[in-house]
Amino acid sequence: MPTPSMEDYLERIYMLIEEKGYARVSDIAEALEVHPSSVTKMVQKLDKSDYLVYERYRGLILTAKGNKIGKRLVYRHELLEDFMKIIGVNEDHIYQDVEGIEHHISWDAIDRIGDLVQYFQEKESRLETLRDIQKRNDQAD
Ligand SMILES: [Mn+2]
């Protein structure tokens, strides 16, 4: 199992490869706001754990294992953002909230949150009912 820090890297590397077709150490460093030497260290660790293959001058590629987990990590992040939006969390803190919880929640909980997101997406009136409750609660404060 990857550590939270490894998860952040795998998630970001997967996204970079999706968007640009490759992930350079400098791009990863910029995206994660860390020093390139930290990226190199982590990339070597991920290589050792068979999540990717790293060659100093040729860049890196995800292995099948790295690609599979990267995809799931990006899905998890996006699902949690959708969930936060649905429950009405202020857009200004959604990203930070998701970054804070994504590594500390079981895949079982993720699946159940997926059901709940689907529940609200399948019928617009369900979201309206939730918003009505929230309006009432806000007025009561
Ligand atoms: Mn994330």
Question: Mean pLDDT by 10-residue block, N- to C-terminus, for the chain (141 residues)?
Answer: 93 95 93 95 96 87 96 97 97 95 96 98 97 94 72
CB 60 within 8 A of CB 9: no
Cα(44) to ligand 1 centroid in Å equals 21
Residue 7, pLDDT score: 96
- What is the CATH T-level fold of the domain 4-69, as seen in this structure? Arc Repressor Mutant, subunit A (1.10.10)
Q: Could you tell me where in the chain the CATH 1.10.60.10 domains are found?
A: 75-139
Surrounding ion ligand 1 within 5 Å at CB are 77
Cα(139) to ligand 1 centroid in Å equals 34
Residue 45, pLDDT score: 96
Cα(123) to ligand 1 centroid in Å equals 28
Q: Could you tell me where in the chain the CATH 1.10.10.10 domains are found?
A: 4-69
Q: What is the pTM for the complete model shown?
A: 0.90
Kindly write down the DSSP assignment for every residue of 67-136, as one continuous string.
HHHHHHHHHHHHHHHHHHHHTT--HHHHHHHHHHHGGGS-HHHHHHHHHHHHHHHH-HHHHHHHHHHHHH
Q: Count of CB atoms within 10 A of residue 66's CB?
A: 24
> Any idea which architecture 75-139 has in CATH?
Orthogonal Bundle (1.10)
Residue 55, pLDDT score: 83
Residue 83, pLDDT score: 98
Residue 59, pLDDT score: 82
Cα(85) to ligand 1 centroid in Å equals 15
Q: Which residues does the annotation place in the binding site?
A: 8, 11, 77, 99, 102-103
